[in-house]
Structure 1
């Protein structure tokens, strides 16, 4: 398991993130720093679509991709687009605790009922949909998934700085992963 480091002081930012958009992200979100409006995006943020996760950053600072569990596998072209066309050289992957994409099997019945009642689907349609997609989007453990997704994207985009961060839904702070200090 990976220990989390709450970034409550600038001195806690890892050296590899100093003077990068990752450090700026931590300063904006955790410390409430404000600056003049950035002229263009400096970072791409990939994070969960969970409505409890709200970043405190200035407009124009980041491209933000939100998907269940922060799973970037199905939207890699959008990451590539931000790199190629937007010129970003840095990606922050943000996982969080109590993610709804963990233990999807336990949510199957409620999912089916929700699709029947809210979307007008038949039970059969809803079950087939769940069974087709739940295995693709399931994350077993938020931190382990964040670490593996970071590793995968670092291999795919070797010239891009990719930082795994963790959002606590209790205190709304961004944390660093201790093993990322020396990871890769």
Structure 2
């Protein structure tokens, strides 16, 4: 993982200029800087983030739609994204990944995954293995930052008029980091 691309935000001056006066700026102010919550009647943005239980955003009620998926992978969620844009009228999408993601090198976790389904869900071993092999290739990510950048690019091509921003949640300090893009 290339940490040199990550920009920590501990002051409003750290927020990238292109995010000023957008819901991304508000998200960072709420989460990282502890700004007091405004009241919202409707969502301002869509957050796509990992389902990992170690992350919790500090944001006001009604501020955001949130889609939580393994690795923050929004493939196969396009209808939900389109709904938030078309009917929810969100102005931006924040795609949030994090360090130590369980979807990184997922194939190495196959035996534990299969064993867990057998012991916890009562599955047959063959059924659990087939399930893993059917879905793991779709959800495995190689590198958290590279995935965020490629997924942001993919979504920008599909939703050309939307502000789509990759952000990184650092589990070590629970802050959102901006990612320098080329």
Give the shorter-chain TM-score range. over 0.9
CA distance in 1, matches of 2:82, 2:140: 23
Per the TM alignment, residue 74 of structure 1 is displaced from its structure 2 partner at its CA by 1.2
User: For residues 14-29 of structure 1, what are the structure 2 equivalents within 5 Å?
Assistant: 14-29=16-31
Structure 2: give runs of 5+ residues left out of the alignment. Answer: none
Per the TM alignment, residue 164 of structure 1 is displaced from its structure 2 partner at its CA by 0.5
Per the TM alignment, residue 12 of structure 1 is displaced from its structure 2 partner at its CA by 1.1
Structure 1: give runs of 5+ residues left out of the alignment. Answer: none
The runs of 4+ residues in structure 1 deviating greater than 2 Å are none
Aligned to 2:39: 37
Aligned to 2:73: 71
CA distance in 2, matches of 1:178, 1:162: 13
Per the TM alignment, residue 34 of structure 1 is displaced from its structure 2 partner at its CA by 1.3
Deviations 1:52-106 (A, max 9, x none): 1100000000000000000000111100000000001200000100000011111
Instruction: Give me the TM-score of the superposition, normalised by structure 1.
Output: 0.96
| RMSD, aligned CA | 0.9
Tell me if structure 2 keeps the 8 A contact 1:48–1:70: yes
Aligned to 2:57: 55
CA distance in 1, matches of 2:172, 2:13: 23
SS in structure 2 at match of 1:74: coil
Count of residues paired in the alignment: 180
